[in-house]
Amino acid sequence: MAEAVGFLEVFGLVAAFAAGDAGCKAANVRMEPFDRNKPANADSLPVPLLVTVKFRGSVSDVRAALDAGAEAARKISGIVAVHEIASPTEDTEKMLRLNGLDKN
């Protein structure tokens, strides 16, 4: 059975690091590489870069990590979205391996 995956999209890299740290301290999860997105309306956002933190583990651990991470990110710059997939399909797993953080 595939591990659950949780996504926490936040405003900025500092909030992403704080969310990842809080999530990993709160639950038995591991983080996968961050992903980034600079949306078309970036100039109107509190921070012009959206970063997605990805947690992997059991469903209950991923939920706990998302809760802790969201609380930490809200204190810095805020969150955009929180989502969890309990059992990703093989095709979803392929997409999860894509990463845009190191691309220009």
Tell me the residue range of the domain where 37 lies. 4-96
How is residue 49 annotated by DSSP?
-
* Residues lower than pLDDT 70 in the chain: 1, 100-104
Q: pLDDT at position 48, please? A: 80
Give the pLDDT score at 55: 97
Q: What is the pLDDT of residue 95?
A: 86
Does some domain include residue 36? Answer: yes
Q: Looking at residue 79, what is its pLDDT?
A: 94
Please report the pLDDT score of residue 62 as a whole number.
Answer: 98
For residue 8, give the nearest of 59, 57, 61, 50 by alpha carbon: 50
Residue 49 in domain:
yes
Q: Quick check: is 39 in a domain? A: yes
Domain count, the chain: 1
CB 8 within 8 A of CB 40: no
Q: What pLDDT sits at residue 100?
A: 66
Is there a domain that residue 102 lies in? no
Q: Is residue 8 part of a domain?
A: yes
CATH number, domain with residue 25: 3.30.70.1710
The C-alpha atoms of residue 42 and residue 48 are separated, in whole angstroms, by 4
pTM value surpassing 0.85: yes
Residue 40 lies in a domain: yes
